């Protein structure tokens, strides 16, 4: 998993509330078990019409937001079913940070396991970031995970809270497998000892 330390990038404004996981990645794309390749179908039913053509006024289809790395969203982002494909699609598109007033718990936790930083901020601060994002590709925001700050293109700084363990994992690029592999020597030692003591197992 990629490390997350600091990020300066284009922020896309998406002021919709209750964006659920079916909106993020519709059910017909859940057949894959690969984490890559889903970015093209992120927000599929909002990005494309029935013929597969881009809907011009959808934010991520607009030229200034096609390379967005930050998404500023509305309240209760990621609600609905607990599909891990949702953060897979977000990450594969290129978004590394989602900022909203609140998140659904399962989606929030899945983000950390997939290299995405979800930041919950008070509504009034999200409103400032949303307005800043509406300026387009020249208004780049900066996320500093170590300092736990979000900085607008105008230099206004907001602090955010994050669980220390989740912060450690994200900054060091550790998913569940990575955490286990940190203990590889201890696991190998235990298995060797167990094999010598119980060769019949």
Strands of the sheet containing 140-144, edge to edge, are 117-120, 97-100, 70-73, 6-14, 140-144, 149-151, 157-159
| pTM over the 0.95 mark | no
* Confidence (pLDDT) at 34: 76
pLDDT at residue 138 in the model: 85
Tens digit of pLDDT at every position of the chain (201 positions): 889 999 999 999 999 999 999 999 999 998 877 778 999 999 999 999 999 999 999 999 999 999 999 999 999 999 998 899 999 999 999 999 999 999 999 999 999 999 999 999 999 999 999 999 999 988 899 999 999 999 999 999 999 999 999 999 999 998 766 665 555 567 666 676 667 778 776
Q: Which pLDDT score is estimated for 201?
A: 67
What DSSP designation does 39 have?
G
Give the contacts of 71 (CB within 8 A, at least 6 positions apart).
11, 12, 14, 90, 95, 97, 98, 99
Position 16 scores a pLDDT of 97
Q: In the prediction, which pLDDT does 23 show?
A: 97
Question: For position 182, what pLDDT does the model report?
Answer: 59
pLDDT, position 35: 77
State the DSSP H helix or E strand holding residue 99, giving kind and residue range, or none if neither: strand 97-100
Predicted pLDDT of residue 99 = 98
- Which pLDDT score, from 0 to 100, does residue 196 have? 74
CATH topology of domain 6-197: Aconitase; domain 4 (3.20.19)
pLDDT at residue 137, rounded to an integer:
86
CA dist 36 and 49 (Å) reads 23
């Amino acid at each position: 998993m990629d490390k997350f330390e600091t990020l300066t990038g284009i922020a896309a404004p998406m002021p919709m509330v209750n964006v659920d996981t079916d909106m993020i990645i519709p059910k017909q794309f859940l057949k894959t078990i690969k984490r890559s390749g889903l970015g093209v179908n992120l927000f599929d039913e909002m990005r494309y019409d029935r013929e597969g053509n881009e809907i011009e006024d959808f934010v991520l289809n607009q030229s200034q937001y096609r390379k967005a790395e930050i998404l500023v969203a509305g309240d209760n982002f990621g609600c609905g079913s607990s599909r891990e494909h949702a953060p897979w699609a977000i990450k594969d598109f290129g978004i590394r940070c989602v900022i909203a007033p609140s998140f659904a718990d399962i989606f929030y936790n899945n983000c950390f396991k997939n290299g995405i930083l979800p930041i919950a901020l008070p509504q009034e601060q999200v409103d400032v970031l949303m307005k800043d994002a509406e300026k387009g590709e020249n208004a780049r925001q900066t996320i500093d995970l170590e300092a736990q700050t979000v900085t607008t293109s105008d230099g206004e700084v907001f602090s955010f809270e994050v669980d220390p363990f989740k912060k450690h994992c994200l900054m060091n690029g550790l998913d569940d497998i990575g955490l286990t592999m940190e203990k590889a020597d201890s696991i190998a030692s235990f298995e060797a000892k167990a094999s010598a003591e119980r060769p019949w197992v």
